[in-house]
Amino acid sequence: MEILDFEEYCIRLEKLTKLGAKNPDADWNLKLNYSGKDFKCGCGKNHKFVAGVTHILWRRAITSGAMILNDPKCDYACYIEIKGVFTSRLETIYSANTKSAMDEMIKERGG
């Protein structure tokens, strides 16, 4: 897993936005098949993907092979790919602390 600063994270994600689903939280297949699976996070902990709790910030529209997850109790967002054939796992490719950037953006907007 690669830990990125927020700017680099955004640059990489910008390339993915064209492949994103309109409603990333609507994929019942993700929730059914991957709920309870662990994923590594840039904060140094492992988190569980829990349907209805873990935030799905983005997912690939064509297949369910990639998504961005955020544990609601963590400041990091993780770009994750689903790996495996007979047994699947959630593999974090890169992660970044997004909280400080989001707080700063809210402050700039007067919120």
Predicted local confidence at residue 46, as pLDDT: 97
Q: How many domains does the chain have?
A: 1
Which structural domain, as residue segments, surrounds residue 74?
Answer: 2-108
φ, ψ of residue 45 in degrees (nearest 5): -105, 165
Instruction: Give the model confidence (pLDDT) of 10-63 as tens digits.
Output: 888 777 666 555 555 556 667 778 889 999 999 999 999 998 888 888 777 666
| CA 68 – CA 41 distance, rounded (Å) | 11
The pLDDT of residue 111 is above 60? no
Q: Which has the closest alpha carbon to 101: 66, 73, 77?
A: 77
pTM: 0.78
Which residue, among 61, 55, 90, 52, has the nearest Cα to 76 in the 3D structure? 55
pLDDT at position 86, please? 80
Q: Where are the alpha helices (DSSP H) in 17-98?
A: 28-34
Average pLDDT over residues 83-98: 89
Token code pair at residue 62? 């064509």
Q: What is the pLDDT of residue 57?
A: 81
Tokens of 46: 């492992």
Q: What is the pLDDT of residue 8?
A: 87
> Which has more confidence, 104 or 10?
10
11-25, 73-87, 93-107: lowest mean pLDDT where? 11-25
Mean pLDDT of 89-107: 82
